[in-house]
Amino acid sequence: MTQSLADELRGKKSDRMRSTLEDVSLRLFAERGFNEVTVEEIASAARVSPRTFYRYFAAKEDVLQLRIEQRSDALREALTQRPPSEPPLRSIGRCLEEIVSTEDPDLLRRWMAVVASTPTVLRAVLGGIQLKSNVVMAEFIGERMGVSSDALIPTMLAAAAGGVILAAHTQWLFFGGSLGQRIAEGIEVLEGTVEAGRARPTPDGDDATGEGRSAGQDTS
């Protein structure tokens, strides 16, 4: 067996164990409440030792970050495949629609329910989204615009897209339907709003891009 194949098999085994621990943890959290469940109980239910649990997660709170990490990694990879001419927000919407369609909806509902009912972890989860998913989107938008990812517009657009995604999750949790479609539709509305804002004339007669002055007009 080559080294690369061995590494690949170890990686797959690690991914399976992390997913198993997430599944067991979310089930126990949903049944008894996040604060009432210990790492020892999670390990016992998963038929592993606490030492094995800590090999994959530093604490039980970190289990709730796995979903964010996996989606962020998948989004980063998917965005590299989008055509360069495609508007960045449209690329993000279409990639997320595809990614979400592959996720386990029951597991996602349990994750959302646990996070929503546990104020002590809600802030950490939202922070994880900002540090992972929003960063991926800002980097992609900045690259397409030819500016730094921490410039104002990529940062603001990524934050706005993140808000749309969270709103779509809430709507899906309460009303069902297709989460991927809700996200894609929400991003499409955001894209249309941004384009409308760019085309809207300013009090000086310019559009939002500053291209509305007639030829030869003094720009001083």
The whole-model pTM stands at: 0.82
- Has residue 138 got a pLDDT over 70? yes
Q: Which residues of 57-96 are buried (b: 16+ CB within 10 A; e: fewer)?
A: beebeebbbbbbebbbebbbebbeebeeeeebbebbbbbb
Residues 165, 112: contact at Cβ < 8 Å?
A: no
Domain boundaries 7-58, corresponding CATH code: 1.10.10.60
Q: How far apart are CA 211 and CA 155, in angstroms?
A: 23
Give me the residue spans of the domains in the chain: 7-58, 62-199
Fold annotation for 62-199: Tetracycline Repressor; domain 2 (1.10.357)
Q: How far apart are CA 136 and CA 95, in angstroms?
A: 12
Each residue of 79-111: pLDDT tens digit? 999 999 999 999 999 999 999 999 999 999 999
Each residue of 156-175: pLDDT tens digit? 999 999 999 999 999 999 99
DSSP character for 208? T
pLDDT reported for residue 120: 85
- Has residue 114 got a pLDDT over 80? yes
Mean pLDDT, rounded, for 32-59 = 97
